[in-house]
Amino acid sequence: MEKLYGKTLNELIAVTKRIGLPGFAAKQISDWLYKKEISSIEEMTNLSKKTRELLSTDYEFGLAAPIKVSESSDGTKKYLYKVLNDKYVETAYMPDNERATICVSSQVGCKMGCIFCMTGKQGYQGNISSNEILNQFRSLPEFRSLTNMVFMGMGEPLDNTAEVLKSLEILTNEWGYGWSPTRITVSTVGLIAGIKEYLEKTRCNLAISLHSPFDEERKKLMPIQRTNTVAEVLDVIRNFEINSQRKISFEYILFKGVNDTPRHIKELARILNGIKCRINIIRFHQIPGSQFISPDLGTTINFKEALNAKGILTTIRVSRGLDIQAACGLLSTLEQNKSA
Ligand code: SF4
């Protein structure tokens, strides 16, 4: 049965037309889906009983609770959701004083093959729908406390652009959740076509996984550099009028002896010169079979300070949920998929 939750207002208008309801019914339905906290068509009490029965013939509300949760000693929680009938994605919930961030997945596995990432090792198993993206948010037990959302879970969001853009439309429109776009960040390896479309169609923040400023070195870490280079990504950003509310950031995982040298600092400062942005340094979390290790904390702090001294605003991201494999690059549902 088709799910109503995750449909945009235009799609709901098409639904109401198809079953012969008046135009205003679509707005009533979107209010029930995104503004009120019900979970069945039966509870949409300003629609007549006959209308609800008609809707229920072909459609269901479409929420699904997570099937498993792991909790970290730092308060981070990792939820497992079933998607695409027999597959799974993971979602991280990270409370931090008055902020509470949800990290959602946009695909099962990933095609991008970044060599330092568990999800990359899992390979690609499918795109999830806007229903399945937003269900990670709405069915989170801590849903009411959320203040921020990042698309940094499993998958490359801009390799599933249509469904990701639909979910952002629902999150940021007045008829939907009415969230400010500045509370949402989508992270990408740097798919040029997707970045252009994303910048044009949304006002949300953009994070780009950089990890090396050098072409040959980045190719070894991230195969995407062979076809979508950082130089091209930076050109797109330089040529796009970025409004002052929107934040552009670059993610940089430090690998000892690989991308943490003064040569890298100098080149990073050179290529990012003139772009209003921030670099987020992420400490590398060892994955099984990886040849990489993280530099010590002193080297990490020196790297950050050297970039700040060159005028590039740089911060170190605090690692969350390490003990439950919820930290950056550790999400994988390979085991669940195998045993499903
Ligand atoms: S880092 Fe992101 S884009 Fe790269 S393989 Fe992992 S999930 Fe995919």
Residue appearing with tokens 């919930």: 93
- Nearest CA-CA partner of 329 in 302, 294, 279: 294
Q: What is the rounded average pLDDT for all residues in the chain?
A: 94
Q: Is the dihedral of CA 138, 141, 145, 149 positive or negative?
A: negative
- Nearest CA-CA partner of 185 in 239, 106, 281, 287: 106
Closest residue by Cα to atom 5, ligand 1, is 120
| pLDDT at residue 339, rounded to an integer | 44
Expressed in angstroms and rounded, the spacing between residue 277 Cα and the centre of ligand 1 is 21
User: Tokens for 168?
Assistant: 């952002």
Catalytic residue status for 90: yes
- Chain centre to alpha carbon of residue 67: 20
pLDDT digits (tens, 9 = 90+) for 9-59: 999 999 999 999 998 999 999 999 999 999 999 999 999 999 999 999 999
Q: Round to whole Å and give the CA distance between 141 and 65.
A: 9
| pLDDT at residue 336, rounded to an integer | 63
Catalytic residue status for 267: no
Expressed in angstroms and rounded, the spacing between residue 177 Cα and the centre of ligand 1 is 28
Expressed in angstroms and rounded, the spacing between residue 330 Cα and the centre of ligand 1 is 10
The strand ranges marked E within the chain are: 2-3, 59-60, 68-71, 77-83, 87-96, 99-103, 107-109, 124-127, 148-151, 184-188, 205-209, 248-254, 278-283, 313-317
| Catalytically annotated residue among 110, 114, 117, 328 | 328
**In the chain, which residues have pLDDT < 50?**
339-340
* Contact (CB, 8 A) for 232 and 189: no
**Burial classification of residue 86, based on how many CB atoms lie within 10 Å of its CB (0-12 exposed, 13-18 middle, 19 or more buried):** exposed
Nearest atom in ligand 1 to 118's CA: 6
| pLDDT at residue 122, rounded to an integer | 85
Q: Ligand 1 pocket test: which of 114, 224, 233, 250 has the largest number of ligand atoms within 8 Å of its C-beta? A: 114
Q: What is the pTM of this model?
A: 0.95
Closest residue by Cα to atom 4, ligand 1, is 114
* Contact (CB, 8 A) for 195 and 188: yes
